[in-house]
Amino acid sequence: MSSKGEILKRIKANQPNLVSELPNLNLLGSEQFDVLETYKTVLKGIGGDPVEVADYNEIINYIKSNYNLEKRLITTLPELSEIASLDWKTVDPHSLQDVELTVVKAHFGVAENSGLWVTDDILGQRVAPFITQYLAIIVHKKDLVPTMQQAYQRIGNMEYGFGTFIAGPSKTADIEQSLVLGAHGARGLIVFLLD
Amino acid sequence: MSSEKTISHSVAATKFNKDVERVNWHDETLWFVRSKRDKSAHQIADWELLRETASQIKFNVLSNIHDYLVEFEANAQRNGIIVHWAADAKEHNEIVHSIMAKHEVKQMVKSKSMLTEECHLNDYLAEKGIEVIDSDLGEYIVQLRKEPPSHIVLPAIHLKKEDVSETFHEHLGTEKGNFNPQYLTESARQSLRNTFLTRKVALTGVNFAVAETGEVVVCTNEGNADMGAHLADVHIACMGFEKLIPKREHLGVFLRLLARSATGQPITTFSSHFKKPRDGKEMHIVIVDNGRSTQLGREDFRNSLKCIRCGACMNTCPVYRRSGGHSYHNAVAGPIGSILAPNLDMSKNADLPFASTLCGSCTNVCPVKIDIHDQLYKWRQVLVKEGHTPKAKTIAMKTMATVLANPTVFNIAGKSGRFVMKNIPGMVNNKMNKWYDQREMPDVPEESFREWYKKNSRESKEKGNE
Amino acid sequence: MKIGLFIPCYVDQFYPKVGIATYELLQKLGCDVEFPMGQTCCGQPMANSGYAHLTKGCDANFIANFSGFDYIVCPSGSCVLHVKDHLHDEKQEEKATAIRNTVYELTEFITDVLKIDHIDGRFPYKVGMHVSCHGQRGLKLSQMSELNAPFFSKPEQLLHSIKDLDLVALTRKDECCGFGGTFCVTEEAVSVKMGQDRIKDHESHDVDYITGGDMSCLMHLDGILKRQKSRIKTIHIAEILNSLEN
């Protein structure tokens, strides 16, 4: 605790007294573009797959035809209970290591970077979107905002323990700038864009 | 920390330039990253306004950092986070170790944190018998090779896939001669997955700490910070105090700038906001000074604390691209490292502000508009005044100053052997040969401009006609 | 309008033809030009090496030579930038300020003060423009590739008006050549490598000449070209703009 006092004392003595105001953020984020088209283009550009669907049935059918249902599929959404389990939210997170596909729903998405905002209350477990081999996130088309400017307006004072923007699958280019999907987290990301 | 004698930037750079093919490759690879940055930045109509806004927010932070820190700590504590304060690297390392000791844990998984590089945490913990595994792929590679990272965002950018293949063959038993990045990354994934599943303590860095909410934001592409933190019992997040931003809404500005500046991506894959620990788990934040408060007091250099560690100044720096990160002998290399390092140790890092042509490209790409090249210039003045430059150079400069201040002496000196060329540029100590090693000298003309002017100017002609 | 001609010390002694071209060009454009004979050096070599505190004598001499002109014009962005940013004198700060406000690099003087965007001239060669950093990023003579802002270039605008001049588009349009003052000897390996790489860019566009607004960059590039026994020549932009009568 003694260091805290010392550090703060030094900072107080050394910090300049120049700027008290903060800039006006309302000047930002006024770019005009087609939000849905941009969202899809950006997502594809960073290795994710946009899939437009009309309802949950289409999502179920898509998953049935693209994933092996014998493997472990988990979701937070009762609408998907036919194909994925719902009873994992209180288990030891380490036990999720064999999950093949996690399906969750995002609060909203951001067109300029394809990021999807998710928080722990809708993730089931914080590690769920990371430890899974593949990830699918559902977002309503009406819940797409243009830029991060609108994104934080929407988040506002939202209460959460943990929240993250997820933009595309986990990736790395640490070996000679060669892009490889599936570094530590999900190898692929499907975004179901729901009417 | 290290007792080895520091090799100066120019000596290391000369060695780096021995392998021309490799320098070309290094330059092109980083130029490619700079080009991706340009493309991405130029797509955002608001780009320059974003930079200006970010700069203004950071100026506000520098002026009010005391109050923001107090606010941040109170909010973080309210969120159930344990906050520590470290005056220097030593105390930072001790705090981290004490948390490990309290939990009787001997193994840690760590995501990227340049602060822990700056504090040499890995070495410290190793001495205490604690094993640290770096989980960012680039850091994992350099850790296996017992090298420091050469770039803050791209730690293994100095290595080719052949080097990585060799390292993984030796340490992970991958196929010899298999250079495929996909294969090598997959091997690291398998190995590190086991690490994530077995570590009780995870350490991460911090990209932004929000005073208003007490939350910290950690950005990765790999998801390694999250894999570590969400599976461990204890999450330790370490941050220099300059990571503070006033409000959550300011993240909207910085997250638009960070990844685009760094790699040209629109945003990192994961931008994780850690506000509270998981139920029954612990989260610690270590706030570190380690010279930052001193830098805050240096009027000419405090702006360096605006840095958000995107690495754009390195990618664009023509010197960095042709000398490699290790030649800067500092945790943070390149232009920004060269204005941060002298604050930590002037004598050891006196060479770094001179490892630049002052071309100014760094300042232009900086997302928070740090006047990097002006600070390099200003550090040169400070280092000279504090006596950190060679004596011979000082003597030569003094001679030059005397001659150039006096036109009569200058003209005599000029005639008798072109004073300027012997003394400028930097033919100090008469090391003419350094120019001549790979360059011809300019031809000496019959007469200087002023000699011509005396004979041919309008006035002298008019005089002649009278 | 009385113009003080500021010729960098190394141009005076090694590249008189650049000084002559500048002088003749300005006269051709209708200016009353005088070269103050007592001028030496702006002090930049010392300042950039960390010895700005030794430049007081240079500053006083500069002020003594250049006070009273309507404009001061110089064929070097780098030297102009130094004067603009660093010329001070406690005893005559008003004079120093006046000079800082009226010192111009040659091409910006032509486009911004004389408001001329067309020069009569002919130069029937393929030319690569080396954009010098201090002129570009310091004096903002042209747009910088890092910024998200519309393109412009004061020197290129003038070059485009020269007949039969074929100006190439470089791959890296504004990368530093590596001269950097004392950097060229203290960091010799990187300096030369940077110069070689710049030359390669010009070579790949098959230029006859590399031109630019700063003779220091060109001196460095020329030294490398000559060592390589290259057919490519360097030429200061003032010489091209003054090419009609030569």
- Chains A & B: contacts with CB separation below 8 Å: 258
CB B227 within 8 A of CB A130: yes
Q: ∠ at Cα B266 (B262, B268), nearest 5°?
A: 65
- For residue B428, what pLDDT is reported? 43
A70-91 average pLDDT score: 97
- For residue B426, what pLDDT is reported? 46
- For residue B427, what pLDDT is reported? 46
Residue B441 above 80 pLDDT? Answer: yes
The one-letter amino acid at B12:
A
**What's the pTM?**
0.95
Question: Domain span at residue C162?
Answer: 124-240
Residue B429 above 60 pLDDT? Answer: no
Cis ω before B425 (30° cut-off from 0): yes
Residue B273 above 80 pLDDT? Answer: yes
- Quick check: is C70 in a domain? yes
Flag if C14 and B418 touch (Cβ within 8 Å). Answer: yes
Residues of chain B with pLDDT > 70, as a percent, come to 94
Q: What dihedral angle (degrees, nearest 10) is formed by the CA atoms of B375, B376, B381, B384? A: 140
The one-letter amino acid at B115:
L
CATH class of A32-194: alpha beta
CB A108 within 8 A of CB A139: yes
Of C81, C111, C141, the domain-final residue: C111
Instruction: Report the CATH number at residue C134.
Output: 3.40.50
Q: How far is C96 from chain B (nearest CA, A)?
A: 16
A150-170 average pLDDT score: 97
B260 CB neighbour count, 10 Å cutoff: 28
Cβ-Cβ contacts under 8 Å for C80 (sequence gap 6 or more): C6, C74, C103, C104, C105, C135, C139
Flag if A11 and B296 touch (Cβ within 8 Å). Answer: yes
Flag if C187 and B9 touch (Cβ within 8 Å). Answer: yes
Q: Which residues are paired to C236 by β-bridges?
A: C212
- Quick check: is C175 in a domain? yes
Tell which residue, B430, B30, B58, has the closest CA to residue C185.
B430
Tell which residue, C22, C24, C55, has the closest CA to residue C41.
C55
* Domain identity same for C34 and C90: yes
Whether the CB of A169 is below 8 Å from some CB of chain B: the reply is: yes
Q: Which residues in chain A are contacts of B181 at CB distance < 8 A?
A: 175-176, 178, 180
* Domain identity same for C82 and C154: no
Closest partner residue to B318 (CB to CB) among C37, C40, C178 is C178
Residue A18 above 70 pLDDT? Answer: yes
Residue B444 above 50 pLDDT? Answer: yes
- Quick check: is C118 in a domain? no
Can you tell me which residue has the tokens 């009353």?
C32
Chains C and B touch (3+ CB pairs under 8 A): yes
Q: Among all residues of chain A, which has the CA nearest to that of B111?
A: A184
CB C104 within 8 A of CB C71: yes
pLDDT tens for each residue of C22-41: 999 999 999 999 999 999 99
- How far apart are the C-alpha atoms of A184 and B196, rounded to whole Å? 10
Q: What are phi and psi of B110, to 5 degrees?
A: -130, 135
Q: Where are the alpha helices (DSSP H) in C87-214?
A: 93-102, 106-108, 133, 154-160, 183-186, 188-204
Residue B420 above 60 pLDDT? Answer: no
Q: How far is A65 from chain B (nearest CA, A)?
A: 26
User: What are the structural domains, with CATH classification, of chain B?
Assistant: 44-290 (3.40.50.10420), 302-386 (no CATH), 392-463 (no CATH)
Closest partner residue to B448 (CB to CB) among C12, C180, C192 is C12
Assign B435 a pLDDT band (cuts: 50, 70, 90).
confident
- Eight-class DSSP state of C12: H
- For residue B334, what pLDDT is reported? 98
pLDDT tens for each residue of B23-63: 999 999 999 999 999 999 999 999 999 999 999 999 999 99
Whether the CB of B242 is below 8 Å from some CB of chain A: the reply is: no
Of C111, C139, C163, the domain-final residue: C111
Whether the CB of B45 is below 8 Å from some CB of chain A: the reply is: yes
- Quick check: is C245 in a domain? no
- How far apart are the C-alpha atoms of B402 and B398, rounded to whole Å? 6
Of C89, C111, C133, the domain-final residue: C111
Q: Which residues in chain A are contacts of B266 at CB distance < 8 A?
A: 42, 45-46, 112-114, 167
- For residue C220, what pLDDT is reported? 96
Residue B340 C-alpha from the chain's centroid: 8
Flag if C189 and B439 touch (Cβ within 8 Å). Answer: no
* Domain identity same for C128 and C102: no
- For residue B42, what pLDDT is reported? 95
Q: How far is B100 from chain C (nearest CA, A)?
A: 45
Asked whether the ipTM of the predicted complex exceeds the cut of 0.95, the reply is yes
Helix axes C188-204, C215-227, angle to 10 degrees: 80
Closest partner residue to A184 (CB to CB) among B69, B135, B184 is B135
- Quick check: is C117 in a domain? no
* Domain identity same for C193 and C139: yes
B260-281 average pLDDT score: 98
Assign B1 a pLDDT band (cuts: 50, 70, 90).
very low
- Quick check: is C88 in a domain? yes
- Name the stretches of chain C with pLDDT < 50: 246
Number of C-alpha atoms within 13 angstroms, CB side, residue B2? 13
Residue B2 above 60 pLDDT? Answer: no
Q: Among all residues of chain B, which has the CA nearest to that of C47?
A: B381
Q: How far is A157 from chain B (nearest CA, A)?
A: 8
Q: Which residues in chain B are contacts of C20 at CB distance < 8 A?
A: 449, 452, 456
DSSP reduced 3-state for A84: coil
pLDDT tens for each residue of B302-321: 999 999 999 999 999 999 99
Tell which residue, B172, B195, B198, has the closest CA to residue B184.
B172
The count of domains in chain C is 2
- How far apart are the C-alpha atoms of B162 and C125, rounded to whole Å? 45
* Domain identity same for C143 and C96: no
Can you tell me which residue has the tokens 């003209």?
B411
Q: What are phi and psi of B173, to 5 degrees?
A: 70, 30
Instruction: List, in sequence order, every beta strand (DSSP E) within chain C.
Output: 2-5, 32-34, 71-74, 103-105, 126-130, 166-167, 209-212, 233-236
Q: Among all residues of chain C, which has the CA nearest to that of B445?
A: C14
- For residue B415, what pLDDT is reported? 62
Q: Which two tokens stand for residue B124?
A: 């410290």
Selected residues 166-185 of chain B with any CB under 8 Å from a CB in chain A = 181-182, 184-185
Q: Among all residues of chain C, which has the CA nearest to that of B452?
A: C16
Distances (CA, A) of B425 to A38, B168, B227, C186: 52, 47, 54, 10
CB A88 within 8 A of CB A100: no
